[in-house]
Amino acid sequence: MNRPAVILLSGGLDSATALAIAAEQGFTPYALSFRYGQRHAAELRAARRTAELAGVARHVVADIDLRVFGGSALTDDIEVPKDSSDEEISSGIPVTYVPARNTIFLSFALAYAETIGAADVFTGVNAVDYSGYPDCRPEYLAAYEAMANLATKAGVEGDRPLRLHAPLIDLTKGEIIREGLRLGVDYAATSSCYDPDGDGRACARCDTCRLRLKGFAEAGVPDPAPYRSTPR
């Protein structure tokens, strides 16, 4: 029987690719997404569709309300930055940073893993395009894994330590897309935009849209996802 693994699934292209990699490595995927006071539900629809297409064993959507604290464009009413330069995108900590978001998401993944007896957690975090996010760096993930192995029943009584897999950590967006296409990921089902319209069509101008489009250009294929107008 295949071993179970928990996959953090945001609805974006990175986590869809991480899910495909987990499945290729022989894990039975259990997907985990969050309803966390997002201003847009498009990414949850994309997560559900991606989980269906990948045939996951189960897809849990956990409710967490980060709005009780405030502090970021993705949960507050701060204006999402548009038309940033490449330098602006890659320097400093972005306004769209959500405090401790990955730490919270990984903690729920840990609870889920322990509940289903999984020793493996996959995340699509990536250090190349998101150098500004402290919780996307390899040293953070290593420290998280060390903590997790002290936190749980499995770490204390189990025979297999918990492993935190970040298969995209060193890949560029173009490399991620090429890997996903090789594994049959349908990127039309994914949604990366910080500011989609009511039909879930992407803006093509926010930082993640720009990184995504640059990635598809790098991979030499068109982005199959719906945009409000033809991307430049």
From 195, 158, 6, select the one nearest 84 (Cα to Cα): 195
Choice between 140 and 216, CB closer to a copy of itself:
140
Q: In this chain, which of 77, 153, 220, 232 binds a copy of itself, going by CB under 8 A?
A: 153
Dist. CA 72–CA 79, nearest whole Å: 10
Exposed / middle / buried, residue 158 (Cβ in 10 Å: 0-12, 13-18, 19+): middle
Residue-wise DSSP of 95-150? TTPPTTHHHHHHHHHHHHHHHHT--EEE----TTTTTT-GGGSHHHHHHHHHHHHH
Binding to a copy of itself in span 26-85, by CB under 8 A: 60-66, 68-71
Question: Could you tell me the smallest distance in angstroms from the CB atom of residue 151 to a copy of itself?
Answer: 5
**Is there binding between residue 10 and a copy of itself (CB under 8 A)?**
no
Question: Could you tell me the smallest distance in angstroms from the CB atom of residue 218 to a copy of itself?
Answer: 27
**Is there binding between residue 112 and a copy of itself (CB under 8 A)?**
yes
Question: Could you tell me the smallest distance in angstroms from the CB atom of residue 113 to a copy of itself?
Answer: 8
Choice between 110 and 176, CB closer to a copy of itself:
110
Q: In this chain, which of 99, 161, 184, 224 binds a copy of itself, going by CB under 8 A?
A: 99
Per-position x/- string for 173-212, each x denoting binding to a copy of itself as judged by CB under 8 A, each - no binding:
----------------------------------------
CB-based contacts of 107: which residues, under 8 Å, 6+ apart?
none
**Is there binding between residue 159 and a copy of itself (CB under 8 A)?**
no
Dist. CA 194–CA 197, nearest whole Å: 10
**Is there binding between residue 140 and a copy of itself (CB under 8 A)?**
yes
Dist. CA 54–CA 229, nearest whole Å: 29
From 54, 34, 65, 22, select the one nearest 163 (Cα to Cα): 22
Contact footprint for a copy of itself (CB under 8 A): 60-66, 68-71, 93, 97-104, 106-108, 110-112, 114-116, 134-135, 137, 139-140, 143-144, 146-148, 150-153, 155-157
